[in-house]
Chains A and B, each alone.
Chain A
């Protein structure tokens, strides 16, 4: 039963991508389908909606009889709490991004390839979250990487996009090589690739230590851990805005999931994994905030802010693994969800403004903060959405970011360890620092006189406003009732700590 559900969850996006590719190419080549009919866009949207059905069935299945490991031929999979959480975020963000991208990508060269790659990425991310052996984990991981390279470099006539895509490709490949080396070492030492069996067979040994280090760095490129992060500001700012939302919102977090799966297999080797996570988390927080402080390009600023939020998440997970208590993991997973929503909202609203002010006129210039002057007067919804997103990212109530940060901080204090508490206070200080670059964005948008750019901007279609409204409402609601996400956060944290 679970096999079928899983297969459908992955197959629907992948098959749909094939169909859409054919539709798109036929449309272009044979002129069968009129241009700008939106057929490709709406087909992709429908496919994304249909994928929710097996997901809901999987959720119901999980809560009824806590499904175990199943296999398809020799690959092992399991739909556990972590998989459900990640799949939920992938589907939520993916559906909204596809809806958003309709007008944004209309008329672009290779438009159908955008939806194809996006659907492929969604499908393989769902697959990755369910992987239970190192081999198929790596395959899904690579598939996700390849589809994301093509999406980052989508504007292939723009040198900046190509450059971003190339750097991402090369650095990601370096990371993948390290991961592969690590897998080889694990296989050599434990003679198995199945995560649960590795956990049993793993004993403290230098080879497994080295393998773990390689995993941290290899996956760390994808997670954008400092100093492996250098591809991120370029990639996230040059990609089409929907893809930026996906990248910051879920792709780097899926990389984190892959790292957690592999480290849980090596949990018995050493205690140091939690220290590495906490240490890198601290570095990310400070680095991300300081770099964002000097940014005048909006999307680059948001990209650097993703670095610091990965820092909070790593800190929370490190605390959970260090103390063997659920609190930190719950906070971290809640923050993964909230960050996905808030950063997704931020990139989509920035994308809306980018579309209105630049793209609709055929300009591929980047959006700078001064372009946003007075945006609220002509574009109230995107301005409000961006304000809600960044103030939420800054941890101000009554928005969701406050609640998840509070939870991580509380978990740190509960450990009663002075070192951890200092790290938590450092994290809180960083949260305050981040307001110094989020607040000016809001202030610029709410000037009473629209600037030159805003006054001559285009209209915004409804397909862009609906995802903004949905995400903004979600961010506000979770700020008041954080317990609403408990149904999926608690199983995820339990699954994680069961592994460690």
Chain B
């Protein structure tokens, strides 16, 4: 039964993708229906799968010879992430029916969205390092294709290629880690590796650990690899919600969680993870506070929240990080889709050209506020519980100074969230324009996500049980809802953080009176807008390659004499080498 479900969860979206492509672009109604149908099927299968998780292998497909077998395992961690991918995937597809109405090349859009959903499910359910990397790269391909969906727009194309190259570079870390494991174990199986990690030579284990950290950092847009995510906002907004908020960027966090049992013993690994998360969370929050593009604020906020999840893993709190992953997937998808509804009707992403939209778009305003409250970490929404759980775990498992940085980040989150809500939905309208509220399909998706934001925290009990039953070798223990509520409300840390969040909000509200603060912080604002020099670094690398390529062009002289000289020069070098080496 689990085997069939695993196959369905991966193949239903893929069959749907091919079906949408075959139906051709002159029948858009068919394309919309097929896409929604197949993604819902996958969502249903993923839901059933969550209830029958176990830690044994469920499926094994031989690939031939050296490549071993494609093995799959439906444990708690994998199944829950597959549910997020398929579930939120189907909601974004439903949203897309309205958002992408009338767009050209719908077939290409739905093909890659569905292809992505299947690949993401395959990624988290894989037990073979080869297949993990296989699906990992497919998600990168889909992300590139969807970011550059509007091929006429050079910014979109550039953003897509940038995302592809940066995540691929990180992927080399995963490649190296996987192959070091293969070289030492002779197999690609993850369960074999996790159970035998203790007998690995320490140098090999350390290298693997840090390579995997690099891969995770690139995929989850952590420092120093985050520059691709803000540019990825050129994608159609449902894509931003699905891939760049709820699922693909979580693949890095998944990777860290999956391999945590093996690498937690590597000296310095956990601290490196913790610091990466911490620095990212803080810097990204600052960049979010300095951004005027609505989707960029949400993008930086995603980077920041992923930083929280990574920080939690570094402090040993795998349950906390996955719980926040769940909350974040729901509320961030909600925020992106609601932002999409706004952008769809108003035609711009610049928040300075919005304002006062709440009056004409009450539904969108309300759901957006729900999502924003969750992001800021206000009780009783899901974001509050999971963020507090992370901070508490961080305080117990990591250094106290790190906790204070993260708490400051929470305060900043409150600030930029309130700023975002205020600039878009409240205040003076920028200009007289007619905007319409969300349409039916959009409302379905937004409503369901809003309900999830209000209630998903109550699932901590069964959630932790499922995770505890996964292949974690005792890292995670189940906790009940009552236990979590009492623990969080009782800890002083919670109240400290809430005060900081409230302060963040107040600082924004009183910004008119705090001009002295403004002038001292303006240099941070400049640095944030220049993404603290990382964009500049990117540009330098690209320029270096283009420059070297240009210089190298002179070697292709087109003159036969030079060509033959090249041949004889080659001969001389080879002869010299052979002479000296022998």
Q: Interface on A for B, CB 8 Å cutoff?
A: 166-167, 170-171, 174-175, 178, 204, 206, 209-210, 212-214, 216-217, 220-221, 225, 227-228, 230-231, 233-234, 270, 272, 275-276, 287, 290-291, 293-294, 327, 330, 391, 396-398, 402-403, 406-407, 409-410, 412-414, 416, 424-425, 428-429, 432-433, 435-436, 439-440, 443-444, 446-449, 481-484, 486, 490
Contacts and interface: CB of A to CB of B under 8 A. Distances in A.
Contacts of A398: 134, 138
B567 A439 contact: no
Interface in B135-154: 135, 137-138, 140-141, 144, 148, 151-152
Interface of B: 62-67, 104-105, 108, 130, 133-135, 137-138, 140-141, 144, 148, 151-152, 157, 160-161, 164-165, 168-169, 171-172, 175-176, 179-180, 182-183, 545-546, 548-550, 552-553, 555-558, 560, 562-564, 566-571, 574-575, 577-579, 581-582
Contacts of B562: 230
Counting chain A CB atoms within 10 Å of each CB, which of B138, B151, B557, B574 scores highest? B574
The 7 tightest CB contacts between A and B, nearest first, are A483-B64, A413-B179, A230-B563, A227-B566, A447-B151, A290-B549, A432-B168
Nearest to A215: B574
Contact of B570 (A227, A397, A410, A416): A227
A330 B67 CA distance: 12
A410 B141 CA distance: 22
B581 A290 contact: no
Query: Is chain B's binding surface mostly helix, strand, loop or mixed?
Result: helix
B161 A440 contact: yes
A228 B562 CA distance: 11
Given A436-B165, A443-B157, A490-B65, A171 B563 contact: yes
16 contacts: A171-B563, A171-B564, A209-B579, A210-B575, A213-B571, A213-B578, A230-B562, A272-B582, A291-B552, A294-B550, A402-B134, A406-B133, A413-B176, A416-B183, A482-B63, A483-B62
A293 B172 contact: no
B553 A294 contact: yes
A428 B172 contact: yes
Given A209-B582, A448-B104, A449-B152, A443 B160 contact: yes
Contacts of B180: 413
A171 B105 CA distance: 48
A397 B137 contact: yes
Given A272-B581, A293-B545, A482-B64, A227 B108 contact: no
Given A272-B581, A294-B550, A428-B172, 9 more contacts: A221-B567, A233-B556, A291-B549, A293-B549, A396-B137, A396-B140, A435-B161, A436-B161, A483-B62
B560 A175 contact: no
Contacts of A327: 66
Given A170-B560, A174-B564, A447-B151, A397 B138 contact: yes
Counting chain B CB atoms within 10 Å of each CB, which of A167, A217, A486 scores highest? A217
A121 B478 CA distance: 70
Counting chain A CB atoms within 10 Å of each CB, which of B66, B172, B555 scores highest? B66
Contacts of B556: 230, 233, 291
B567 A174 contact: yes
A409 B179 contact: yes
